Amino acid sequence: MVKTTKFDCIIVGVGGQGSIFASRVLGEAAVREGYDVISAETHGMAQRGGTVEVHVRIGSSFGPLIPLRSADALVGIEPAECLRFARYLSPKGTAILNTTPVPAASLDYPVVDNLVKALKHTCERVIAYDAAQLALDAGYPQTLNVVMLGTLSRLLALTTLEDVVAEHVPKKALDANIRAFKLGQRIFDA
């Protein structure tokens, strides 16, 4: 974990996976710790399972969109979407990839191992794991995005991130979300 001074992150998935929630929690934690944060989201047909793309820039004085080949991290809640947006990753960046695809109408879904191999040619570090299973292990399948936030939290020193998660999830799912966050952290530590 490094002291955050500037950090560019793209979070991608499909509608219903919580990409926007994850980006807002990340941004709020950074603001609480005194950083300037700017973000932009694209989610056209997200309610119908379409692509959701969110750029989060911490400590940047430039516009909200991260230039190609310069993101510090790419969080792919959906595997194929992660590869589609890999062009934004810096060669020194980290891709955090959920290996469980969202069932698609197309039967031609790429082999996830091939997606991981392609990502390894794009950036310095790829952390690929079954985040959907960890969300189930946490006791609440909807914590998939929080599992991945837990992993992302190990890349930057935002000490309030877990607290912000706790403040913004439904009370009935609080314990599961905290478990999910910690399970995601353990993936990075492994």
Domain contains 184: yes
Residue 8 has which token pair?
């560019």
| pLDDT tens digits for range 146-156 | 999 999 999 99
- Contact present, 180 and 152 (Cβ < 8 Å): no
Domain count, the chain: 1
Domain contains 2: no
| pLDDT tens digits for range 69-114 | 999 999 999 999 999 999 999 999 999 999 999 866 556 788 999 9
Q: Which of 18, 63, 20 is nearest to 38 (CA)?
A: 63
Domain contains 16: yes
**CATH number of 90's domain:** 3.40.920.10
| pLDDT tens digits for range 174-186 | 999 999 999 999 9
27-31, 61-65, 113-117: least confident range: 61-65
Q: Identify the three-state secondary structure at position 113.
A: helix
- pTM surpassing 0.85? yes
Q: By residue range, what is the domain housing residue 42?
A: 7-189
Domain contains 49: yes
